[in-house]
Each structure stands twice: as structure tokens, then as C-alpha cells.
């Protein structure tokens, strides 16, 4: 279990060092943090836009690099839209890290399959960095990534680098192609049946819309990956992020504290419970 910081509910003011526009509705913020909180891939922070509100946001940068923390955000509502208007030098309140990480150490020696849909690549990116840094500790590593269209693809430079210089096999697909798109067209779950990994020794990490995670988990199960070796990251509205307020509660489970990363044998039941 990863402990939250000493004063878990008090945000630390962090200045924006850089803003990167990723796609028409998605952007990445690099925030100065000194000292930088030590986070593990799959964990999240609570980001507070002053006077607007606070939202959970996964870390999406390299857990081993630099003095900044990195978050990639899709604009969907009031807080994320206000965040999108912030420029270099503006201040955000930040608290965390929170939650349980992806089980990367446990996957040592095994094949790893990462399946990402849309903004779901952001919470998986720290895991890919960590795996690439210790590439020799794993068997085959496969990243399957689906976006709505070529213009919606995130982290294009990373995708090229992972493909060419880290020994990670990268499969990319889009729901709708364009005349200049020469790659796969179709849903990301369609890539699972032919992906090069051994299901008897594979760990799978999935992040994306819930329906996509369900179909991906079922396709992995159909290939023979046990549900206990398939991991998904759940999104539920959150307020405290430390298991106090009950906002993210599903029965006896607190998504903020017991998750957001769950094995699919546990998450399958949770995914059936709709947001309150
Ligand atoms: C643990 C965790 C990690 C997260 N990591 C990320 C991340 O790395 N990047 C990121 O962009 N988001 C991430 N999210 C989602 C993010 O917290 C929400 O998008 C945010 O809270 C929306 O706040 P808002 O005020 O802008 O919109 P709201 O008013 O809360 O929502 C506006 C509308 O968008 C819908 N909506 C909310 N969230 C989503 C979503 N994720 N996808 C599609 N529709 C949505 C709502 O149902 C509502 O209809 C994460 C959530 C959790 C729980
Ligand atoms: S967000 Fe408060 S209990 Fe999970």
C-alpha cells in the first residue's frame, strides 16, 4: 500500500512550467514540484483549479525523470475546461499521490500487454516508461492503443520512440481513418486476438472507457489470460481521495483508496455498478 502524504487534504501550490497542446481537446501540463512527490505508475493526484474545483488526475509523466509532475487532461466539463485555459506561470493546487499503482514489479519476467483507449493512454504512460527503463526484466511487451481518429492520437513522438528504440511492440488503430491514414481502422479490442504474447505468462494492464475495458478484458480472457492477471483502472467521481467521504464508494470498496487499479476478477462486479 502506498501512503498518502503527511497532510493528505492540503493542496500544495505548484506553478505551471509548460503547457503542451496534444489534440483539439487534450493538453498536458508540466508542473514545478520541489521536492517532487514520488509516485508510482497508475497513481493519481487531486488538481485544484483555484476558485473552480478539484478533480482526480493520473500522473502521466516518467516516474524516474525530472523535477516536474506531468498530467494529460481531456476537457470534458467545468474544471478541466478551466484548467485548459491556464498558461505558463499560473498556479494549481496539487495533492497526492493517491491510490494503488499498476502491479509492474509483479509482472517481472512475464509478457506485458497494455491496452489503452483514448485518454486511457495517459495513466498507462508512466507504466510504459517504467517498463522501458527495465526492459530486460520483462518478456514480450505489447502496447495496443486505439483513438477516435488520427488527429486524436496522443504522444505521437513517444509512440515512435517506444516502437523503434525500446523493444515494445506497438499496435495503433483508429475508429475512423482519413485518406492519409495507412494504419489499422477499427476498435482496439480487435487487435488483441493477433497480438504477440503468451497468455500463459502474461499480465495485462487496461485503461480507457469502461465499455472498452470490459471488451478488452473479455478478449484477453478468450485468449487465456486469467482474470486475476488482467488489471483495469476505474474512474469514479472523487472528493477526498483518501477513503473518508464515501463519494467514490461502491459497496465496501473505495475506488480512491482500494483502487483505482483493480484486478479484473474484482473489477468485473464494480464495473456493473453505475456512477451515483
Ligand atoms: C483516478 C482517476 C484518474 C483520472 N485520470 C485522468 C487523466 O489522466 N486524464 C483525464 O483527462 N481525466 C482523468 N480522470 C477523469 C477526470 O477526473 C474527469 O474528467 C474530471 O473530474 C472531470 O471534471 P469536470 O469538472 O471537467 O467535468 P464534470 O462536470 O465532472 O464532467 C463533465 C461531463 O463529462 C463526463 N465525464 C467526466 N469524466 C469523464 C471522462 N473521463 N470521460 C468522458 N466523460 C467524462 C461527465 O459524466 C459529465 O457528463 C481521472 C479520474 C479518476 C477518478
Ligand atoms: S473520494 Fe472520498 S472516499 Fe473516495
Q: Show the cell assigned to 99.
A: 491510490
- Closest by alpha carbon to 26, among 126, 199, 148? 148
Q: Do 228 and 121 share a structural domain?
A: yes
Atom 31 in ligand 1: residue holding the nearest Cα: 77
**Ligand 1 nearest-atom number relative to CA 60:** 8
Higher pLDDT, 8 or 52: 52
Q: Do 112 and 227 share a structural domain?
A: yes
Which amino acids bring their CB within 6 angstroms of ligand 1?
A: 44, 53, 55-58, 60, 72-74, 76-80, 119, 122-123, 235-236, 238, 260
Distance 254 CA to ligand 2 centre (A): 6
Q: What is the mean pLDDT of residues 60-84?
A: 94
- Position 273 scores a pLDDT of 66
Instruction: Domain of residue 210: give its range.
Output: 105-233
Cell 483502487 belongs to: 259
Element (H, E) at 232: strand 230-233
Q: Do 53 and 116 share a structural domain?
A: no
Q: Give SS3 for 275.
A: coil
**Ligand 2 nearest-atom number relative to CA 244:** 3
**Is residue 66 situated within a structural domain?**
yes
- Closest by alpha carbon to 131, among 153, 158, 156, 157? 158
Q: Which residues, 6 or more positions from 218, have their beta carbon under 8 angstroms from its beta carbon?
A: none
- Position 271 scores a pLDDT of 79
pLDDT value at 8 more than 80:
no
Q: What is the mean pLDDT of residues 223-252?
A: 94
Q: Show the cell assigned to 60.
A: 502521466
Residue 126, CA distances (Å) to 77, 121, 146, 270 in order: 25, 9, 18, 25
Last residue of a domain, one of 98, 126, 159: 98
Q: Do 131 and 27 share a structural domain?
A: no
Q: Do 111 and 195 share a structural domain?
A: yes
Q: In CATH, what number is assigned to the domain containing residue 80?
A: 2.40.30.10
- Bridge partners of 15? 91
Q: What is the mean pLDDT of residues 81-97?
A: 96
pLDDT value at 91 more than 60:
yes
Q: What is the DSSP letter of 3?
A: P
With bands split at pLDDT 50, 70 and 90, how would you rate the model's confidence at 7? low
Which amino acids bring their CB within 6 angstroms of ligand 2?
A: 238-241, 243-249, 254, 256
Cell 469514479 belongs to: 236
**Is residue 212 situated within a structural domain?**
yes
Q: Which residues, 6 or more positions from 270, have their beta carbon under 8 angstroms from its beta carbon?
A: 234, 250, 253, 255, 262
Distance 76 CA to ligand 1 centre (A): 6
Count of domains observed in the chain: 2
**Ligand 1 nearest-atom number relative to CA 233:** 1
Enumerate helices (H) and strands (E) in the chain, giving the number of each. 6, 15
Q: Do 71 and 11 share a structural domain?
A: yes
Q: What is the mean pLDDT of residues 200-207?
A: 97
Q: pLDDT by residue (tens digit) across 129-175?
A: 999 999 999 999 999 999 999 999 999 999 999 999 889 999 999 99
Q: In CATH, what number is assigned to the domain containing residue 206?
A: 3.40.50.80
Query: Which one of 54, 96, 239 would you pick to mutate in the ligand 2 pocket, going by the greatest count of ligand atoms within 8 A of its CB?
Result: 239
Q: Do 112 and 54 share a structural domain?
A: no
Q: Do 94 and 111 share a structural domain?
A: no
**Ligand 2 nearest-atom number relative to CA 239:** 1
Whole-angstrom distance, CA of residue 268 vs CA of residue 197: 23
Cβ–Cβ under 8 Å, residues 29 and 19: yes
Task: Please state, rounded to an integer, the average pLDDT across all residues of the chain.
Answer: 93
- Position 2 scores a pLDDT of 42
Distance 104 CA to ligand 2 centre (A): 25
**Is residue 186 situated within a structural domain?**
yes
Cβ–Cβ under 8 Å, residues 94 and 31: yes
N residues, the chain: 276
- Position 276 scores a pLDDT of 43
Q: Do 132 and 18 share a structural domain?
A: no
- Position 3 scores a pLDDT of 45
Q: Which residues, 6 or more positions from 226, have their beta carbon under 8 angstroms from its beta carbon?
A: 265
Last residue of a domain, one of 49, 73, 98: 98
**Ligand 2 nearest-atom number relative to CA 255:** 4
- Position 34 scores a pLDDT of 80
With bands split at pLDDT 50, 70 and 90, how would you rate the model's confidence at 272? confident
- Closest by alpha carbon to 207, among 1, 25, 46, 43? 43
**Ligand 1 nearest-atom number relative to CA 238:** 53
Entry pTM: 0.93
Whole-angstrom distance, CA of residue 178 vs CA of residue 19: 28
Query: Which one of 57, 255, 274 would you pick to mutate in the ligand 1 pocket, going by the greatest count of ligand atoms within 8 A of its CB?
Result: 57
Query: Which one of 40, 42, 76 would you pick to mutate in the ligand 1 pocket, going by the greatest count of ligand atoms within 8 A of its CB?
Result: 76
- Bridge partners of 202? 111
Last residue of a domain, one of 233, 249, 271: 233
Q: Do 225 and 109 share a structural domain?
A: yes
Q: Could you give phi then psi for residue 249, rounded to 5 degrees? A: -75, 135
Cβ–Cβ under 8 Å, residues 230 and 12: no
Q: How far is residue 94 CA from its own chain's centroid?
A: 18
Residue 219, CA distances (Å) to 45, 113, 227, 230 in order: 31, 12, 11, 11
Q: What is the mean pLDDT of residues 12-37?
A: 94
Q: Do 35 and 138 share a structural domain?
A: no
Amino acid at each position: 500500500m502506498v501512503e498518502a502524504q503527511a497532510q493528505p487534504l492540503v493542496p500544495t501550490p505548484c506553478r505551471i512550467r509548460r503547457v503542451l497542446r496534444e489534440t483539439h481537446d487534450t493538453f498536458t501540463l508540466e508542473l514545478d514540484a520541489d521536492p517532487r512527490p514520488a509516485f508510482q505508475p497508475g497513481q493519481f493526484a487531486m488538481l485544484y483549479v483555484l476558485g473552480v474545483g478539484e478533480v482526480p488526475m493520473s500522473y502521466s509523466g516518467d516516474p524516474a525523470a525530472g523535477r516536474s509532475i506531468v498530467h494529460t487532461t481531456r476537457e470534458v466539463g467545468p474544471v478541466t475546461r478551466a484548467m485548459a485555459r491556464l498558461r505558463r506561470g499560473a498556479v494549481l493546487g496539487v495533492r497526492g499521490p493517491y491510490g494503488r499503482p499498476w502491479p509492474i514489479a509483479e509482472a517481472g519476467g512475464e509478457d506485458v500487454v497494455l491496452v489503452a483507449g483514448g485518454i486511457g493512454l495517459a495513466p498507462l504512460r508512466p507504466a510504459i516508461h517504467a517498463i522501458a527503463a527495465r526492459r530486460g526484466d520483462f518478456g514480450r511487451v505489447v502496447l495496443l492503443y486505439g483513438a477516435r481518429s488520427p488527429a486524436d492520437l496522443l504522444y505521437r513522438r513517444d509512440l515512435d520512440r517506444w516502437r523503434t528504440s525500446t523493444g515494445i511492440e506497438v499496435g495503433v488503430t483508429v475508429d475512423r481513418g482519413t485518406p492519409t491514414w495507412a494504419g489499422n481502422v477499427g476498435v482496439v479490442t480487435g487487435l488483441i486476438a493477433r497480438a504477440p504474447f503468451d497468455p500463459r505468462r502474461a499480465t495485462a494492464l487496461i485503461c480507457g472507457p469502461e465499455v472498452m475495458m470490459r471488451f478488452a478484458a473479455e478478449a484477453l480472457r478468450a485468449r487465456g489470460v486469467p482474470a486475476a492477471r488482467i488489471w483495469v483502472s476505474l474512474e469514479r467521481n472523487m472528493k477526498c481521495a483518501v477513503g473518508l467521504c464515501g463519494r467514490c464508494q461502491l459497496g465496501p470498496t473505495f475506488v480512491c483508496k482500494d483502487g483505482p487499479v483493480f484486478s479484473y476478477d474484482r473489477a468485473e462486479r464494480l464495473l456493473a455498478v453505475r456512477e451515483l
